[in-house]
């Protein structure tokens, strides 16, 4: 059966849509399978996923992971993190491949996927290839796996080790 997707969610630099309309759990599942297919073609098996704090992000990440696994990928979820932490995790885990579930600056009913594969952020034709793979029904089938890993302490410790202040700071917080 041919999948009917809204082509408008496949943007220049990410995949983004409204979670109860055109970026549904089923849609994200298919995106995960298509991404996994592209990974397999590139000889990549491992992918890191992370999510922001939006209410819809845990469900989106779960559907994405299921699609990635059903496409044969090995998924490492780093949970709720800031986007730079996903990039850090792909370096630390030597995957170069990751997907961040994030609505970024958009209204609360939106969510999206920022993707990188083999150390390169996907954009333009690479994102359109995911759309074509889904529409052509050409997704891979497999039996992947999933694990969870916290990288927050490692990330923060590396930042602390790299930042050297020349003098102490006085900080004032105005909660008003």
Q: Which residues of 20-41 are buried (b: 16+ CB within 10 A; e: fewer)?
A: eeebbbebbbbbbbbbbbbbbe
Give Rg (Cα) of the chain. 17
Q: Give the helix/strand (H/E) hosting 15.
A: strand 15-18
Q: Catalytic one among 104, 123, 126, 140?
A: 104
Reference 73, options 129, 148, 145, 138; nearest CA is: 145
Catalytic residue status for 104: yes
Q: Is 172 helix (H, G, I), strand (E, B) or coil?
A: coil
- Residues with active-site annotation: 104
């Amino acid at each position: 059966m041919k999948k009917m997707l809204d082509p408008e969610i496949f943007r220049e630099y990410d995949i983004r849509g409204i979670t109860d309309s055109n970026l549904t759990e089923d849609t994200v599942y298919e995106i995960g399978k298509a991404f996994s297919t592209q990974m397999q073609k590139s000889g990549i098996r491992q992918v890191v996923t992370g999510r922001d704090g939006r209410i819809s992000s845990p469900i989106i990440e779960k559907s994405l992971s299921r699609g990635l696994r059903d496409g044969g990928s090995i998924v490492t979820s780093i949970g709720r993190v800031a986007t730079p932490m996903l990039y850090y995790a792909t370096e630390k885990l030597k995957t170069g491949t990751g997907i961040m579930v994030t609505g970024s600056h958009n209204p609360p009913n939106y969510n999206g996927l920022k993707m990188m594969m083999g150390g390169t952020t996907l954009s333009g034709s690479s994102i359109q290839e995911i759309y074509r793979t889904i529409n052509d029904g050409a997704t891979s089938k497999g039996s992947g796996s999933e694990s969870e890993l916290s990288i927050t302490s490692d990330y923060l410790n590396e930042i602390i080790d790299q930042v050297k202040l020349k003098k102490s700071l006085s900080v004032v917080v105005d909660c008003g």
